Amino acid sequence: MATAGSDAVNYLIFGTVFESSSKPDRIASGLHELSSVARATRIPVLAIGGVTSGTIADVMGAGAAGVAGISMFDMPSGVS
């Protein structure tokens, strides 16, 4: 089993950062917790959960190496 800090771990996923309509039962951890995790490891941390185009700068500023999302990539209705 790989452990954090081993050569087998390429990245960590941290979430839920913000409230998310796709996972309404998840409690948001927030930017402070994201920052704490990102500072505690040299492994790149990807942020998920409620991240939008309007919050990406804050998420990256908190130390995330990148973001992943569902609703941020949803196409408006009628667009394909």
Quick one: pLDDT at residue 53?
86
> Is pLDDT larger for residue 6 or for residue 34?
34
Write down the pTM of the prediction.
Answer: 0.79
Mean pLDDT of the chain: 86
Mapping DSSP onto H, E and C, the string for the chain reads: CCCCCCCCCCCEEECCCCCCCCCCCCCCCHHHHHHHHHHCCCCCEEECCCCCCCCHHHHHHCCCCEECCCHHHCCCCCCC
Number of other residues whose CB lies within 10 A of the CB of residue 70: 14
Separation CA 28–CA 6 (nearest Å): 28
Percentage of residues in the chain having pLDDT higher than 70: 79
| pLDDT tens digits along 55-78 | 999 999 999 999 988 766 665 555
